[in-house]
Chain A
Amino acid sequence: MRGKLSKFTILLCVFLLIGFVGFATGQKETKAPTTVSIMYGTPWKDFVQPAVAKFEKETGIKVKQVVLPPGTNPDQKVALDLAGGVACDVIAVDGYRIPEFAEAGYLLNLDSYLNNWSDWNEYYEPMKKMVSFKGKHYGIPLDTDVRMLWYWKPIFEKAGITMPWQPKTWDDVLAAARKIKAALPNVQYPLYLPVGSKMGEATTMQGFYMLLLGADTPKNDRNRLRDWNAGKWIGKSPALLRTLQVYQTVFVKDKLSIRDIYYTPDVWGDWRRAMIHGNIGIGLGGSWEFKEFWSGAGVKVPSEQEREKLVGWAPMPGSGVPGAPKIVSISGGWTFAVNAKTKNADAAWKLLKTIFTKENFGRWVAGAAKVSTRKDVSEMASYKQDKYIAAITKLVAYTTTRDTYPGYSKVSSYVQSATEDILDGKTPQQAMDNFYNNLVSEFGKDKVTVIK
């Protein structure tokens, strides 16, 4: 028995040794890469694929592409892949994640590559800032955007609202929504305002921030989630309360939106379908929607002239409170970054360089109705002549970015939870108190401030 067991133990040890040696030698692989992998979402397919073909032809390196289908949350997918150590070599990253990903050591510092790349000088400074953390750069900015109020023209026409629509305060927006509700009771979403956690970051950015920024003066960060001078998160403020009051008006008091669309299995597809099927009067959304209302809904995109007849947009006004901005917008943007664990850093960088040539980026950015992140592309005739892009570029003067300090993701999830509290029937004050308690519990009382 003992003899047999010993043999068995030896056999097991041999297996383990073979496995370990295999693992160890695998780690020391130094051969030239034969493949490099990249992960991005469907909207960037037209941008990436021609460059990938060119890269493969020039280098002989095969590119394994992971294209996330519509309906996937690319932001969450990238975070989980990086945390699990299975992310591709090159990854599309939402700009606001850069500090937390960099802090976790997930992203490769690209400074040594960027400093030797002449195109880097063409990028706007705020865009460079978006991809940086503690002075180091971790990605190439892909696109940026602005946010506004979209409205469906046939509904406005039937409701008798003058176009072009130019609301001056929140009251004007709510009044228009009430008018739609009274005139067209079949329209289920006179005002579409992203709410709840299933919409994820869209609730925070397209909905909550767009109200918060106009809810008070920008002085001393009174209209933000973070007091940057004090280095604290804002747990209670008049602006937070006013913002939650709008949620209460829209979803509870005046019922200017039913709740269905914010909780369906396909929240993004359904919002776009509701818009183009005339079930939304006014909707808070981003500049990309001029095309994606149709492409995201899975239907053929009409010509620009046809789209203009159907959908209009207006800058989001402030609340009308003294000192609050007259117009607000907030910008995000995606970047392409390199996984810090890549074994093919040089090849990954070469792929990035091929994707981000002026020609390839310029060709794509105007056609996709995106705001350019680099100066030379903004000067290209195809970009300058695009009427829609010229119009939305005016909003850039009013835009700002999120309070992307490490910990922002958690703050954002508490924002979403606060909007859900309103749906549950809590008062704006109770929802704000919960928000404050969540922040204190997360960061400690000394890291959370109250603005009177």
Chain B
Amino acid sequence: MVVGLSKRSLYISLIPFALFILLLVFCVLWAIAISFTNKSLIGISAVHPRFIGILNYAKLLRHPDFINSLKVTFSFTFISAVVGQCIIGLLLAVLLRQKHIRFKAFFEVAVLLGWLLPDMVAAFMWGAFASATGFLNTILAPLGMKPINWITVKPLTTVIIANVWKGTAWSYLLFAAALDTIPGELFEAADVDGATAWQKLVLINIPIILPTILVNILLVTIWTFGYFSLIYGMTGGGPGHATEVLSILMYKEAFESFHIGYGSAISISMTIIVGSLSVIYFWGQRRAADVSG
């Protein structure tokens, strides 16, 4: 019971939440139901959709584009979010916590800028930055590299780097906040014992903030697995199907080809995959808590 709130007031205040949850449940159930039909947004199937059982899901498993998108999505998520954003975010947080680091505010603002930019603005910016005449080639020219359009020559690598640049700020903020909770005495004691920076990182920082690291990995995996706008803006999923992550495949099927039933089947599959990953992370987190407890 919330202090100072009568039961009636409590129920009334719960109405918006209940409606919101009902809406969410309705949308999810609708997507699930639609995924078992041939519902389209145009044509006869728009008005008279048929129940087709698990045909959409069976089609997915035979669809070469889906298999390709699955591989692209896993590569994109694992390299850009789990490895890139988490590791760089952690290293930045540890580095910028050092007392002798100067211009800390400058570095923090620089890291945050990518995060603050709207995705489409960032996509256009990367389009210009990584083009044949872009700044990236200007930087690389003294190293003897010929100018190329990175977005078409190395599309997946470029969108992965763009996503690391864009999303690292979140991991940095989370880790910085977690590191601030570690008592300074631990490091003073480590200094007295003659511990190196590496030993302090591995033996003090990481074990103490391990639950935060796992939560962060869970969150960035969920976000990145369904990420759409930056990649779509930069490449549209191309060239060919080179950067066609599942969210882009789903968008193309549902809103370009107007197969909303099939698009729903893709989105439900994405939910199942990311849900399974979440279960693994939760299990890992519980194990970590047990060990630290």
* B-binding residues in A (CB < 8 A): 1, 4-5, 7-8, 12, 76, 79-80, 82-83, 97, 100-101, 103-106, 196-198, 200, 258-260, 262-265, 267, 406-407, 409-410, 413, 417, 420-425, 434, 437, 441
Contacts and interface: CB of A to CB of B under 8 A. Distances in A.
B242 A197 contact: no
A76 B152 contact: no
A117 B127 CA distance: 51
Q: Which 7 A-B pairs have the closest CB atoms?
A: A423-B240, A198-B236, A83-B41, A104-B46, A424-B240, A413-B257, A263-B238
Chain B interface size, as a band, is 35 or more
A200 B255 CA distance: 12
Given A1-B7, A103-B43, A409-B258, 18 more contacts: A4-B7, A83-B258, A101-B42, A103-B42, A103-B47, A104-B42, A197-B236, A197-B238, A197-B252, A198-B236, A260-B131, A263-B235, A265-B120, A265-B127, A265-B234, A424-B242, A425-B240, A441-B59
A417 B240 CA distance: 8
B108 interface: no
A406 B152 contact: no
10 contacts: A4-B7, A76-B256, A79-B41, A101-B42, A198-B238, A200-B256, A409-B257, A410-B259, A437-B62, A441-B63
Given A76-B256, A197-B252, A200-B256, A420 B241 contact: yes
B93 to A, nearest CB: 33
A97 B42 CA distance: 9
Contacts of A407: 43
A5 B11 contact: yes
B105 to A, nearest CB: 33
Interface in B1-23: 7-8, 11-12, 15
Interface of B: 7-8, 11-12, 15, 41-44, 46-47, 59, 62-65, 120, 123-124, 127, 131-132, 149, 151-152, 233-242, 252, 255-259
Nearest to A5: B11
Contacts of B46: 83, 103-106
A100 B62 contact: no
Contacts of B47: 103-105
A420 B238 contact: yes
A258 B240 CA distance: 12
Given A410-B259, A413-B256, A196 B238 contact: yes
A83 B255 CA distance: 10
Contacts of A417: 65
Contacts of A4: 7-8
B149 A258 contact: yes
B72 to A, nearest CB: 12
A260 B152 contact: yes
Given A5-B11, A79-B258, A265-B234, A421 B149 contact: no
B151 A260 contact: yes
Given A265-B123, A265-B127, A406-B43, A259 B258 contact: no
Contact of A263 (B12, B42, B151, B259): B151
For B43, B59, B123, B235, which residue has the most chain A Cβ atoms within 10 angstroms? B43
A263 B7 contact: no
Nearest to A434: B64
Contacts of A262: 238-239
